[in-house]
Structure formats: structure tokens, C-alpha cells
Structure 1
Amino acid sequence: MSNTIRFDVDADGIATLTIDVPGQSMNVIGAEFLTDFSAAIDRLSSDAAVKGAVIASGKASGFMAGMDLKGMEEMLLPQEGGGKLAMATLFDRVFTLNAILRRLETCGKPVACAIEGICVGGGFELALACHYRVVSDSSKVQLGLPEILVGLFPGGGGSQRFPRIAGTQVALMYMLQGKLFRPAEAAAIKVVDAVVPAGTTIEAAKAWLLANPAASVQPWDQKGFKFPGGVGSMNPAFAQTFMGAVPMMAKEAQRNMNAPIALLSAVYEGAQLPMDRAIRIESKYFAKVLAQPQARNMVRSLFVNKQAAERGARRPKDIAPSPTKKLAMLGAGMMGAGIATVAAQAGIEVVLLDRDMAAAEKGKAHAQEVLSKRLGKGMTPEKMADILARITPVTDVADLTGCDFVIEAVFEDPAIKADITKRVEAVLGADTIFGSNTSTLPITGLAKAWSKPENFIGIHFFSPVEKMPLVEIITGEKTGPEAIAKALDFVAQIKKTPIVVSDSRGFYTSRCFSTYVQEGTQMVAEGVNPALIENVGRQLGMPVGPLAVSDEVSIELGHKILAATKRELGSAYKGTRADDVIEQMVVELGRLGRKNGKGFYDYPEGGKKALWPGLTEHFPRAAHQPTPEQVRERLLFRQLIECARCYAEGVLAAPEDGDIGAIFGWGFAPWTGGPFSHMDTLGAAKIVETLDRLAQEQGERFSPTRQLRDMATSGATFYPAKAKAAA
């Protein structure tokens, strides 16, 4: 008896295989499903009464999300032994899905699939193995192979069937980007055969089966099959595709990623072979990728831990759900307006407060501008009007009456924040949860303005709010579980990814991110070529170089934060040469960053930004320049040690939050799986050895923590051994 697939045969001999994996909100491919699906194929091929089959989903969420990545531990290399035997075992495990889908398309009966909702990854590979694909025209449908985004590539025949249907160039474009697509686009590239009204896919699939009882052989298994666009190393179009794809991939991934290289190899080799050999080539490269720590780390951080965070892993378990119904948004600047926009999109009423109506209305206008850009892309004028109607600009604190959650995003000045905090409490009462969007000011200090500090919490968004996925929840010394639950429930409502950290100056993300900028600025002070600094930063896998980042967030803002830190710490503050560069850029040279068109870069109107030539004049180039590897090491390890300090000091309670926060908060090199995954991969002993050397060469900012030294001695890791082994 099958637990995951229901097998029903109608009077016409058409079997409907309804997939409904128990205990899952979305169908996924796990060990039990593979066993049940294999048995269903046996029955389909051997039962003479069955003329063909429709594969459909029994879940409202969609067809299938793909492989159960949390269950991929079964595919791990054996921990003992290793070598050729271990790789052979891994190959056999990863080839299982490929073998089953190959049996499906060669079972001798026509098979169609009826797709409603989500159909991605292994689910889409299953669809590609069917002889006919019918998809709903619903806006909820998403199709594609996004595996590259979590350090893998399509390993269930997708890298072989997609090119045979759409052509190599088109297939690579989608697979290398992990790009998802809608029904109309899928039909245009011919990966689906019919687009029909929602709710009619099974009916349409059955109609095709009855009209095509002999359509049980895939095009690529028929004599005379012509590969779309041509194939072979001597075919000009095929060769040119790879001549372009290889350097483009190298530029995008900066040669840090294993999966894109393996994908290109699998497609190039497999496309020139019969399908039975092609899928073995694919599984060979898939096993090779899976055996590397990179895939393990990326899957764990970018998928497993991210999903756990979004499902409330850090939420206090004994607190009843507390969704926000009416939000008081204090401040209608870029951050406040962005938060108001995403809240209104989530169906929450927003009262948007600012000092005057012009400023408040400007915040609402921002929401209208953002939503207008999405018209025709899932957004309708009616839907946009409904969202905007939920945002009410106001100037009087009394208009906040009835709000059940507050988020403050006013100017980063403790006095200004304290004033608005007290005025809001006078209207809403101290039992209301108050959240501050500060990015640097300690929450414990700000909470003194709220008479019940247990109801005060930090809720740090990233700009632009509409696009950035992370929200950093910061607990002060007295923050209570109700405040944590309320903040996390709000983040879940607006479909963002939360991490929870403890209070400190700069918290986790701002504190650690700033080290990347500071180290780059320190090198400018030392006379290191700015172009070398910037290029190596990008090659490390960061979104942009540290000097470009400084310009984007504003050198002036960095100067203000520096001044505030000096005031608070007094004689305990230890200055750096990077501070001198910031002081000179802002005070002496008036170069504030992109905001005034001049910073480390020049920003000519209508032109392309370029490094400011005057940097050499004001910060003379050193005669001896470091190697790219030396620059890379400093930029990377300066971030790693600060992350380790946050963990040792209790700012972070779990390495999962550290990895998620780094990748989604400041763009820390995704190929590492995050700083803690990367430190585990390198090993604490190697980390300490490198940091000790850097501390001797560059200064105590690189000094290892006592915790790291103890880990180096004991062989301990940030993640438990079992989790570390999981792929």
C-alpha cells in the first residue's frame, strides 16, 4: 500500500496517480515517495488494463517542490573509508531518481502530468520525463529548476531533458540563473504542451491520452531526433553557446561555485550522448558536487535553516499567535515607507506618521511608486488601490489609537527616538509592543523611554525593504517573550526571513558588515591600490567592493556612527587609520558617497561610476603592493573573526542565525554557506593559525577568541557533527 501516491483507474483505462506526501505542506521527493513511485511505474507498465496515466497532485499548494533537501543525509558519503568505494556508493544513491524517471518515460504507456501551482526542482524534472505536460493558467503557477541557487544543479535528468526540448542555449540560460517562469513563458520555450484554465488540467491531460494512445516514446528516443539548435563540438551554434556560457559563468560566480561548472560539463557531455548514458553523466557530476562541503553548506543555510527560521524556529513556543492587524509606522522616510509598503501588501492596516503631512504623503507616494512598477507582473490596478487604501498618512500621534504594534524608523538620534517613544506610549499604553528599526543604537538604552522595557524590541530592516529578505530581531536586556513572538509573527506576515540576536552596539549584521568596509578603507590608508581592493572584494563573492559599499550606504553616515561610538566609549575607543580616511573624506574633502555624487567613486551624470583619481593624491600608493590572495584573506578573515566574537559574546545564540544573517543581510559570499559554515569547513585550527599570523602582521583586530582557540584544541565545530555531515 502506498502512503504517498493514490493510484486510480477510470472506465477508459486511464490511471490517475495523485501525489500527496503526508506530513508535508508541499509534495517533496523523499525515500518513501521514490519507493512508492517505483511501484506505481511497475503497475503502470505491467497492467494491460491501464492504457496511460495522468500524474497530478493532491495538495492545494501545487504539484511538487522537488527533492526533500532536509532528508538528503541518506545520500551522504560514508564517514569512514572514503575514496572510490564511497563515491561509487554516492553515485548509486543519487542515480536513483534518474533511474526511476527513465523507467517512467520508457514504460511503454503514454504519461501526462497535470500541473497546478508550484512545480520546481525535482518536481519539474518529473514533469519533463512525462510525454505530455498540461499546466494551469493560474498566477500561482511557478515552474523551473532553481537548484543552482542552493549550490546544486538539476540531478534528476533536468540537465539533459531541458536542452533536448528547448535547445542548449535557452536551457542553460534558465538553469544557470535558477530562473523560474510562468505558464505562458513555459509554453513559449516548449517545456509545457498546453496551458488550460485552472482546475481543468487533469481533464485536459486525460483528453490527450485518449487521443494519443501510442504516444509513449519521447522525441529523443525516436530515430532521427534532431537536437534543437544542433549539437556536437563541431556544430557552430552549440560550440558558440559554450564559448559564451563559460566566461559569463566565470564572471558571475567568480570561479567560487562548483555547481555551475558541473552543470556546464554535464550538459556539454550529455547532450552528445544517448539518454541512458547522458543521465549517468549527469549523476556523475551531481555526485561530485554533492560530495563537496560547498553544497552541504549552501543547502543547509540557504534552504534548510532559512526555512526553519521563517517557520518560527526562534519563536517562543508557549506564546499564542499574535498577528499584527494595525501597524503604527513612525517615520515616513525610505525605511518607514518601505516597511509600510510591505505591511500593507500583507493585508495590514498602516498608520504612517511623520512630522508634517507632506512628509507622510511622500511616504505613501513611495508605496505607490513601488507598486506601480509591478503592474502587469502579478499586480493589477484594483489590487494596488486596495493596498494603498490600507496606508493612512497622519501627523498627530493621537491618530495611532487602535494600533497593536509599533515600528519606529525616525532619525538615528537617541533623544529624538526617546521623545517619539514617550509620546506614542501616552496614546497606546505600555502594553503595546514597540519595535525600533535602529541599525546601531543599543536596544537596552532605547527601551528606557518605554515604561515596560519587556515590551520593547529591535526590529532592524535592510534597504530597500521591498527587496531585502532579512529582518534582524534584537532583544534588549529586559525584552520579554511576548515582544519576541509579536515581532516574529509580523516578520512572518510580511514574508521575510528573521534572525534573533542579543543587544550590542551594531548588533550582529551592522557590526560584522562594517568590518568589510573598514578593512577596505584601512587598505586605502596603507596605500593599497583601490582597484585591487575592489576587484578582490567582488572575486571573494561579495556583491560589490568595500569602497563601493561605503559610497552606497554613505561615507557621511559612517562618519556619524564613528562620532557617536567615540562619544559613547570615550577613552576606551581605539582609533584606526581607516577612521582617518573617513574623517578626511567627509570633513576635508566633502566626499560623502553616492548621495552627493562623489565618494571613493565619481558619479558623473549620465555616465558610469569610476574610482576617483584623487585617491592616489590624498592617499599615496605604496611602493610594495600586496597580492590578490593577501587582500582576499584580510577582507574575508576580518569578517570571520568579528562573527566569531559575536558568537563568543552571546550576541548570536546559534550559528544558523549567523550564517543566514550574513548571507541575506550584507551579502556575505553565498558560496561559503555563511561565515560559521565556512569556519567549520576550514577547521578551527586553520582559522586560528591564520588569524594569529594576521594579528601579528596587521594588528589585534584579527586576534582569535578564546572560544576559537579551545575549538582548535578540541576539534569542535560550530555546527554539531551530525549536522556538519548533512548534505
Structure 2
Amino acid sequence: MQTIKFEIEDGVALVGIDVPGRSLNILTPQLQRELDELFARLAGDDAVKGVVIHSAKARGFIAGADLMELVEAFEHGTSKVEAREQSAYLQGLTRRIETLGKPVATAIGGLALGGGLELALGTHYRVLSERADAQLGLPEVSVGLLPGGGGTQRLPRLIGIAQALPMLLDGKPVGPQRALELGLVDELAAPEQLLARAKAWVLANPDARQPWDRKGWKPRDLGSLAFPHGPLTSRILQAHVASRGNYPAPLAILSCVGEGMVVDLDTGLRIERNYFAQLLTGPVARNLIRTQFINKAAADKLVRRPQGFTSRSFTRIGVLGAGQMGAGIARVAAVAGIEVALLDASLEQAQAAHARLADELARAVSRGQLAGDKAEAALARIHPTADYAELGAAELVIEAVFEDLAVKAEVTARAVSAMPADALFASNTSTLPISLLAGQFPRPADFIGLHFFSPVERMPLVEIIRGRETSDATLAAAMDFVAQLRKTPILVNDSPGFFTSRVFGSFVDEGFLMLEDGIAPALIEQAARQAGMPVGPLAVADEVSLELQLKVNRQAIELGFEERFQRGAAIDLVKTMVNEFHRPGRRAGGGFYDYPEEGGKRLWTGLAQHWPQASQQPTLEELRLRILSIQALESARCVEEGVITDAADADLGSTLGIGFPTWTGGVLSYIDTLGLAAFVEQCDGLAERWGERFRPSAWLRRRAETGERFHPRPTQAGN
């Protein structure tokens, strides 16, 4: 099917882009070919005075490339030569357009992102819709790539290096007014006037040429490239620090700008496609695109939802426990339009939580994160109470009380006596098996785990845990509820700690064991950050509290969990910190870190005294491997034990829930990137040096021997 609608009006060729089967246009290879062939014909057509490119769809322009096609290319082993050719084709198309010898304008009706904006930058004039939802940007850095259709060369030439660098490095789109101020577009117009304004300009400017194609033209702020001053130098330093060597795209973008702006455009385009090919054939872009975009989009569309059940929309829920987690759940539900009974042991406690939520919502309004009327409406939907009778109309009750089996059993029993007979029940537990908790509920088929992450309003993930008796209908409804909250669900099967808590626990415990190994605390924390974790294991242990580690250990022993679920690897260290040194974490004023009233936190000097540092410290790279490998190995065990049945859930859970570095694509993508045989060999080496916890299982070795992957290779191109 054709992707272009073409007509000539008053001597102006109107090129309407209409990619079939899409609500928004994307820059497909077919569209590029058709445009290339069309402009080749238009160059020799004397009847055509100029061209206006626009979208033939009701909204938008071109929303970038097809990410699924890029993943397919990754998986099938695109070579650097092929990647350069891919970039060169789009570059050639935009170069053909701007050297057509006739004026070419773009009428941009909405989104122009990535290759869509690059196409527009290759035209001589741009008219943008004044609608607020019109957005222009080059977001390729967010998927580990750089603009490969001339974006790194035209953008700084058009708006200047200093203004172009933030757009290229941050990847954030700009709206109509900012686009006009920057010089990205030449004028704004009402949607119904876009074509007429673009056409009028074409007819009035028969000799249009790009500035950089005029003799003697030079970039207006070329001096800013000079070392050591100027935006390019500072951005290089910032990118180097921020990426920690894990994300190559920012430095590649800076190299493209720095090298390309001192040569002519055509040489700059060759520089761009060489860097583009390096990124496109590397693992980071593949991992980012597959997990953070392709698989996240599929999860958000509830790809794991059981079929055959009518979609549900919840109007009333109850939340048991008004602490930080319970109040957070109540907040996101209320913002989503759901009435919430927020119940705690006393009305005073519930009202105090309501007051805290009022303050939080007010701050969100002051920061521009939420409209004032929406915040007021959300707060009005939250009803603080201590009366279980308030659950009488709830369609779903979520328990978010202390991680204590007896406490959970008590509130569950009291809720059962008040809630409707057909209402669903969910536990926000992070460690206790759902099947065990469901034993306190008269309808275990209607019982499920909904593990939120703190702070709930910012964390995008919900881990849905299916108990042994959880029904498909309950699972489908739980998926619907998570989607209603605009969260991303992953599905796991029941196990102590489920998936995210097991993997997170392996990270924290490894930090404790490093301390016992005599490794300098600062080196432990730095290794974690170098690996790409947001914070080190000692810092995050302070945030969640060491007392919680003790409680998890005690409860696991009392419930008779297997030793590996008892989190006992470094429990003596934790007991010493809590019971002997009285340093359970940040909330108590001190843990592994001190928290002075003025200045930032700093590692407690007593650590070196009580856990003396070894005279020979391991390399940062070895510690980095320990941190990544132990989490990936625990994830593989979750697959082996059937806790995880889809690799995408593991990758999303690890990156969105517990901060596993996104450059890896997630825990199982990390293994696949290394190759399972190489990962097993790496773990064996770590086991010899640091302990048998790194030893791969026989199951994992068999997979390595047969060359299996956790992510299957695609069998056909996506639509």
C-alpha cells in the first residue's frame, strides 16, 4: 500500500504522508523509498514550483522510527556496513530534499520526533501547529542511539551549538512557542491554516536554499567548541560523569557535533553515520529499546492478562494501613478517579495520613506536576477512617500493613467481615508468600498480591503475584486495576520474596558481604554506582532500615523457609549494627551512613574500625561484576523455579522496580548480552574467589551448553 498522497495545487506539490495501519505516521523504510523516488521525479518536473510536506492523517506529523524494526535488526545481526547504509539512506533523502532546487516547506500538525523532525529539518521552511500537543524533539539518546538522518549536523547549524546540545543530549521535546523561540520552526499557525501558510511561503520564495549551502556560511557560535571553555566541553565532562562509561550515546552525539561542525555538511553527515553505526550495532541500544520501550509498551497493554474476561474499571477500593505505602496507594488510586477508604488502627492515624497527603498534593501542584482542581478532587476521594464498615462498598481491598503475618491475618479477618462477598483482596506484602496469606481469606481464588514500590506516586512498577489458587478472573481484574493506575504490571508466581525482593535482597546482602570481606565501604558504594545502580547497597539498606532485614530473617526462620530464603548470609553484621551499635538506618539518625543536620550524608567512620579493610583491595571492575552477577544469577534461579515465566517481566521488574541498570536491558538481558556460556564462566570465576553463592546451577549449565537464551530471537518483523 502507498504511504504518500500526492496532488498539485497552484503549481505546489502537496505531499501527504499516510502510513497505513497507524494512527500516527512513523518513518518506515517504505516511506523513505517512496519519498526518495517522488523527489527524484519532482526535481525534473518544470510544472512543479515547490513542495509542501504534511501529514495526511488527522493529527501529528511523523512520530519517529519503528522501534520494533530496530530490535529485529539487532537480533538478526545488523553489521556496521548495513547500519551506515541505513543512516546514509535517510541522510541522502534529506539532502535530496534540501538541494531540490525548488522551495520545500513542512506543515507540522503535531508530533515531529526523531526521523520525523530530521525530515523537517531537511526542508527550507517549517510551519508548526500552535496546538499545545504539538511537540518537536530528537529523543534518540533515550534509546541509546543518535539522530542518524542528519540531526546532529543540521540542528546545531540551524539553532546554534549551545541551544542544540540540550535537545540532543536530553532528548526532551519542546512545544510550539519554545520551538519558535529556538528557531526550530519559522512560524506558528492554527491547524486549519498550516497547509495554506506553507504553500504561500513556497510560492513567495522560489530561490530558497539552506543557509549552510550558501557560499561563505559559517556556524554562528563555532567558537563555543574551543577547549576548555564553552558548552561542548562542559557537556562532554557532564556526559562522562553521568554515563560512567555505560551509555555511549551521549559521548557519540558530542563527538558528532564537535567533529562535524568544523567541516562541511556532507563530511559531517559521514561522521554522523559512522557514529550511528557504532551505536546501532552495540548492545546498549538494543537492550534499552527492547526493555524500556517494546516490552514496557506490551506490559502496559496487559499482554500477560488472561483472555476471555470483560475489562473492569474500579470505582471504590479500601486500603488497610495508612503508612507511607498505604497512603501512597490511596493517592495514586484517588488521582486515577477511584474513591478510597483509607483505614488505620485509629481515626487519628488515618487523618494524619490524610493531612500528609494534602501537603504532598499541594507540593505537586506548586511544582506544576498536577493541576490544582485535580489535586483537590483526588484528596476529596480519600476518606480516612478506622471503621471497617467503610469497606462495605469496596470492589477491591488492598492490605498494606506491617510485614508481619499475625498483623496481616488480623486485618484480613476484620476486612472479610465487612467487605462485599464478591470483592477482591490483595496484599502489598514484599516477602510473605501470597498462598500463605490467602489461607486467612475465605475465597483464596479472589486473593492476589499487588506489590507496589515506594514512593508509590513515582515508581512505575507493580509486581502482581499469583498465588496457588488465584483465579484467572482475579488476575485479569488485578491487571485492569494496575492499568487504571497507569502503572506497569509484571506477573510472577508465588515464592518467598517473589521476584523483585529476592533480587534486591541479593544486591543488599552482597554489599554486606563485601564489607565483611574487608572491602572499603566507599569502594563498595562506588562500584555499585559505576555499574549503574542508582545508589550503593549500604546507602539503600539505610533507607529501607536494617531492622527490616532482621525482621525478614526472623520471620523466614519462624515460617520454616529454606535457608536461602532466610537472608542470613550477613545477618550477624546486621545484628551488630542494630543491637550493638544502635544504627538501624536513616530514620533512626544513623546506619552505615551519618546524616548530619547540615551537609550531605557521609559514610560512618566506625565501619573501618569494626570491619577492618584488607590491605589488598579488589579492582572496581571485579566489584562491579559481583554486584551485577549476583542479581542476574538470582533472577536465573527465579526462572528455573518457575517464579518468572517471561524474561520481559524479569527485565522490567529489575529496571523499573529495584534500579538494575537500564543499559543492560535488565537482569536476563544482561545474561543474554554476555552469552550464557560466558556468564556461567564469569560466575564460576567469582565463586572461586568470593564463595559458592556465585556457583551456577546444573540447570543453568545445561542451558549454556545448548546455547539457549532467555529472550527468544524474533521469528518475523513486527508491524
Task: State TM-score, norm by structure 1.
Answer: 0.92
Distance (Å, rounded) in 1 between the aligned partners of 2:186 and 2:351: 48
Partner in structure 2 of residue 443 of structure 1: 434
Residue type at the aligned position of 2:272: E
Counterpart contact for 1:231–1:272, Cα < 8 Å: no
Distance (Å, rounded) in 2 between the aligned partners of 1:472 and 1:323: 19
Q: Using the TM superposition, give the Cα deviation of residue 425 of structure 1 relative to its aligned residue in structure 2, in angstroms.
A: 3.0
Counterpart contact for 1:405–1:434, Cα < 8 Å: yes
Partner in structure 2 of residue 220 of structure 1: 212
Distance (Å, rounded) in 2 between the aligned partners of 1:424 and 1:262: 57
Partner in structure 2 of residue 159 of structure 1: 152
Distance (Å, rounded) in 1 between the aligned partners of 2:43 and 2:285: 36
Q: Using the TM superposition, give the Cα deviation of residue 670 of structure 1 relative to its aligned residue in structure 2, in angstroms.
A: 1.3
Instruction: Evaluate the alpha carbon distance shift between residue 458 and residue 575 of structure 1 in structure 2; reply closer, same or farther with a 3 A threshold.
Output: closer
Q: Which of 679, 692, 696 matches 2:688?
A: 696
Render the CA deviation track for 1:495-548: whole Å, top value 9, x for unaligned.
222111111111111110111111011111222100111111111111111111
Instruction: Evaluate the alpha carbon distance shift between residue 712 and residue 557 of structure 1 in structure 2; reply closer, same or farther with a 3 A threshold.
Output: same
| Residues 272-283 of structure 1 mapped to structure 2, 5 A cutoff | 272-283=262-273
Secondary structure at the aligned position of 1:565 is classed as helix
| Residues 267-416 of structure 1 mapped to structure 2, 5 A cutoff | 267-372=257-362, 373-375=364-366, 377=368, 379-416=370-407
Moved more, 505-514 or 548-557: 548-557
| Residues 601-680 of structure 1 mapped to structure 2, 5 A cutoff | 601-680=593-672
Instruction: Evaluate the alpha carbon distance shift between residue 421 and residue 318 of structure 1 in structure 2; reply closer, same or farther with a 3 A threshold.
Output: same
Counterpart contact for 1:655–1:719, Cα < 8 Å: yes
Q: Using the TM superposition, give the Cα deviation of residue 201 of structure 1 relative to its aligned residue in structure 2, in angstroms.
A: 4.0
Secondary structure at the aligned position of 1:329 is classed as strand
Distance (Å, rounded) in 2 between the aligned partners of 1:547 and 1:724: 45
Secondary structure at the aligned position of 1:181 is classed as coil
Counterpart contact for 2:144–2:288, Cα < 8 Å: yes
Instruction: Evaluate the alpha carbon distance shift between residue 545 and residue 49 of structure 1 in structure 2; reply closer, same or farther with a 3 A threshold.
Output: same
Moved more, 141-150 or 301-310: 141-150
Counterpart contact for 1:105–1:216, Cα < 8 Å: no
Distance (Å, rounded) in 2 between the aligned partners of 1:183 and 1:332: 43
Render the CA deviation track for 1:280-325: whole Å, top value 9, x for unaligned.
2211111111112222222211211111111121111222211223
Residue type at the aligned position of 1:276: D
Distance (Å, rounded) in 2 between the aligned partners of 1:408 and 1:197: 51
Structure 2: gaps (5+ residues): none
Instruction: Evaluate the alpha carbon distance shift between residue 571 and residue 258 of structure 1 in structure 2; reply closer, same or farther with a 3 A threshold.
Output: closer
Counterpart contact for 2:74–2:286, Cα < 8 Å: no
Q: Which of 380, 396, 409 matches 1:418?
A: 409
Distance (Å, rounded) in 2 between the aligned partners of 1:488 and 1:176: 35
Render the CA deviation track for 1:468-492: whole Å, top value 9, x for unaligned.
1111111111111112211211222
Residue type at the aligned position of 1:703: R
Instruction: Evaluate the alpha carbon distance shift between residue 52 and residue 559 of structure 1 in structure 2; reply closer, same or farther with a 3 A threshold.
Output: farther
Instruction: Evaluate the alpha carbon distance shift between residue 221 and residue 370 of structure 1 in structure 2; reply closer, same or farther with a 3 A threshold.
Output: farther
Provide the alpha-carbon RMSD of the alignment: 2.7
Partner in structure 2 of residue 543 of structure 1: 534
Counterpart contact for 2:124–2:208, Cα < 8 Å: yes
Partner in structure 1 of residue 90 of structure 2: 97
Distance (Å, rounded) in 1 between the aligned partners of 2:438 and 2:567: 29
Residue type at the aligned position of 1:699: G
Render the CA deviation track for 1:36-74: whole Å, top value 9, x for unaligned.
333443455444444444433344563332110101256
Partner in structure 2 of residue 568 of structure 1: 559
Counterpart contact for 2:224–2:231, Cα < 8 Å: no
Instruction: Evaluate the alpha carbon distance shift between residue 420 and residue 36 of structure 1 in structure 2; reply closer, same or farther with a 3 A threshold.
Output: farther
Render the CA deviation track for 1:329-372: whole Å, top value 9, x for unaligned.
33332222222222233333333333334433344444443443
Instruction: Evaluate the alpha carbon distance shift between residue 89 and residue 380 of structure 1 in structure 2; reply closer, same or farther with a 3 A threshold.
Output: closer
Counterpart contact for 1:142–1:183, Cα < 8 Å: yes
Q: Percent identity?
A: 46
Distance (Å, rounded) in 2 between the aligned partners of 1:690 and 1:95: 39
Q: Using the TM superposition, give the Cα deviation of residue 15 of structure 1 relative to its aligned residue in structure 2, in angstroms.
A: 4.2
Residue type at the aligned position of 1:359: Q
Q: Which of 243, 255, 261 matches 1:265?
A: 255
Distance (Å, rounded) in 1 between the aligned partners of 2:190 and 2:369: 17
Counterpart contact for 2:222–2:261, Cα < 8 Å: no
Residue type at the aligned position of 2:509: Q
Instruction: Evaluate the alpha carbon distance shift between residue 690 and residue 221 of structure 1 in structure 2; reply closer, same or farther with a 3 A threshold.
Output: same
Q: Using the TM superposition, give the Cα deviation of residue 203 of structure 1 relative to its aligned residue in structure 2, in angstroms.
A: 4.7
Instruction: Evaluate the alpha carbon distance shift between residue 328 and residue 44 of structure 1 in structure 2; reply closer, same or farther with a 3 A threshold.
Output: farther
Counterpart contact for 2:467–2:493, Cα < 8 Å: yes
Counterpart contact for 1:60–1:117, Cα < 8 Å: no
Residue type at the aligned position of 2:469: K
Instruction: Evaluate the alpha carbon distance shift between residue 616 and residue 124 of structure 1 in structure 2; reply closer, same or farther with a 3 A threshold.
Output: same
Distance (Å, rounded) in 2 between the aligned partners of 1:377 and 1:137: 21
Partner in structure 1 of residue 64 of structure 2: 66
Partner in structure 1 of residue 461 of structure 2: 470
Whether 2:22 is the aligned partner of 1:24: answer yes
Whether 2:77 is the aligned partner of 1:88: answer no
Distance (Å, rounded) in 1 between the aligned partners of 2:487 and 2:468: 25
Q: Report how many aligned residue pairs link the two structures.
A: 716
Q: Using the TM superposition, give the Cα deviation of residue 141 of structure 1 relative to its aligned residue in structure 2, in angstroms.
A: 3.4
Q: Using the TM superposition, give the Cα deviation of residue 236 of structure 1 relative to its aligned residue in structure 2, in angstroms.
A: 5.8
Instruction: Evaluate the alpha carbon distance shift between residue 688 and residue 122 of structure 1 in structure 2; reply closer, same or farther with a 3 A threshold.
Output: same
Distance (Å, rounded) in 2 between the aligned partners of 1:21 and 1:411: 53
Counterpart contact for 1:21–1:33, Cα < 8 Å: yes
Counterpart contact for 2:340–2:381, Cα < 8 Å: yes
